[in-house]
Structure 1
Amino acid sequence: MALKDITTRLTPLEIMQDAPVIPVIVLQDRTQAVAMARALVAGGIRMLEVTLRTPVALACIEAIAKEVPEAVVGAGTVRSAADAQAAALAGARFAVSPGYTQEVGKACHDLGLPLLPGVATGSEIMQAQEGGYTALKFFPALPAGGTAMLKAWHGPFNDVRFCPTGGITAGNAREFLALPNVACVGGSWLVPTDALASQDWARITRLASEAAGLPRG
């Protein structure tokens, strides 16, 4: 999918359809953010989920938003309206949450921040749909049932598209991507901790290129 002008607002489904994988990124050092983002973009991965799990996460989002305009940086682990607001102020273009609450859904809607809400049960899918969300993160994908659960959901929720995250690796991503209700997967393998530590940007670009080339059903 060719990415539209990123000065315009993207829909959650467009974010999920841009590439087969959205990298789940945990950064401990702000100085690594820009080079890492450029390495991912060079490999064909532009939707970048920087998780709000470290004290420097917002600063990393801000740096990527300002210095890597060809990337679309989002905030992961958004758990509250305050998280959503802070992410938007830092320059995040989308948000990803580990679960779904009306508070987070409304906050992102009011901010104009596309949200990929996390779900793990049928009831949670229905709650997210009531909030207007049909492009959802399936989390934690492997512990919550993996491909078998997604196949079971395809009947009653055939209007929903998922981004399975949690336990997804280069080894099993193809199994998920082959499913008709999976738009992409989320995974941390594109940005390994040791590659960050050694600033091995060429390795990250290679991993991104391999991920960008994965087939989808």
Structure 2
Amino acid sequence: MRIEDYPRFTIIMRGYTFQQAEAILNAIEGLETKFAVEITLNTPDSLNQLTLLTKKYGNSIYIGAGTVRSIDDVKAAIQAGAKFLLGPHMFTQDMINFAKEHEVLSVPAAMTPSEIDEMFKRGADIVKVFPAIVLSPRFFRDVQAPLGKLPLMGVGGITVNNAKDFLSNGASYLGLGSGMFDKEDLVRLDSKNLSKSMRKLISSVKGASV
């Protein structure tokens, strides 16, 4: 997978049932270039979900693993078909190297300029700034003033109401979790309304510079 092909938005699927995850993937139809999805490894039966959903949807949708915390997680996720790996903290060199050997994007997390710099030095493809809402949109602009333009993903507290602010301040990518959808739409497996939520997000960031 090439970083150039990675979509602007990542939907974080944490704790969803297989049926809910599939409803979200069905809702992405027509928006495949805008959204990737990550199945967090602390979701029940996550690796089985990842395997099954990748086999069915992996040719058209970028599906990866989230909450990747160790080299064992990296190996298991890649074995299950993950195209990218997101973590809640920094990755070791071994984790990044193994991902590169298998042409899988690595997206470790960082919270300080030093951590961000270190992750790119180790070879990270994208660095996830987490929790983004604690740091604020301005952090993305300020940290890139000395470090230069970097592929940063804002995750943690991102909503349809603040997504444009983060993108306008220099975030290249955003990850959205529980606030992305109406809970009732997930309960009802309403792919039509789930798709409307995605389109609402896309409309909300029109005009944002990247």
Matches of residues 134-173 of structure 1 in structure 2 within 5 Å?
A: 135-143=126-134, 145-173=135-163
Quote the Cα distance in structure 1 between the aligned partners of 2:128 and 2:182: 21
State whether structure 2 residue 92 is matched by structure 1 residue 104.
no
Alpha carbons 1:40, 1:46 under 8 Å: kept: yes
Matches of residues 37-48 of structure 1 in structure 2 within 5 Å?
A: 37-44=25-32, 45-48=34-37
Quote the Cα distance in structure 1 between the aligned partners of 2:181 and 2:46: 15
Alpha carbons 1:93, 1:114 under 8 Å: kept: yes
SS of alignment partner, residue 28 of structure 2: helix
Question: Aligned partner of 1:34: which letter?
Answer: E
Quote the Cα distance in structure 2 between the aligned partners of 1:32 and 1:141: 26
Q: Structure 1: state its 5+ residue gaps.
A: 1-8
Encode CA deviations 1:89-131: one digit per residue, 9 max, x unaligned: 1111111111113232223223321111111011111211220
Quote the Cα distance in structure 1 between the aligned partners of 2:112 and 2:129: 9
> Identity of aligned pairs, percent?
24
Which residue in 2 is equivalent to 1:132? 123
SS of alignment partner, residue 161 of structure 2: coil
Which residue in 2 is equivalent to 1:4? none
Alpha carbons 1:33, 1:63 under 8 Å: kept: no
Encode CA deviations 1:64-95: one digit per residue, 9 max, x unaligned: 21111311101111111111111111111111
Question: Aligned partner of 1:109: which letter?
Answer: K
With normalisation by structure 2, the TM-score equals: 0.87
State the 1:43 CA deviation: 4.3
Question: Aligned partner of 2:98: which letter?
Answer: A
Question: Aligned partner of 1:118: which letter?
Answer: A
State whether structure 2 residue 177 is matched by structure 1 residue 185.
no
Which residue in 2 is equivalent to 1:10? 2
- Flag the 1:194–1:82 CA change in 2: closer, same or farther, 3 A: farther
State whether structure 2 residue 47 is matched by structure 1 residue 55.
no
- Higher-helix-fraction structure: 2
How many equivalent residue pairs?
203
Which residue in 2 is equivalent to 1:122? 113
Alignment RMSD, CA only? 1.9
State the 1:159 CA deviation: 3.3
Quote the Cα distance in structure 1 between the aligned partners of 2:154 and 2:74: 21
Deviating beyond 6 angstroms after TM superposition, the runs of 4 or more aligned structure 1 residues are: none
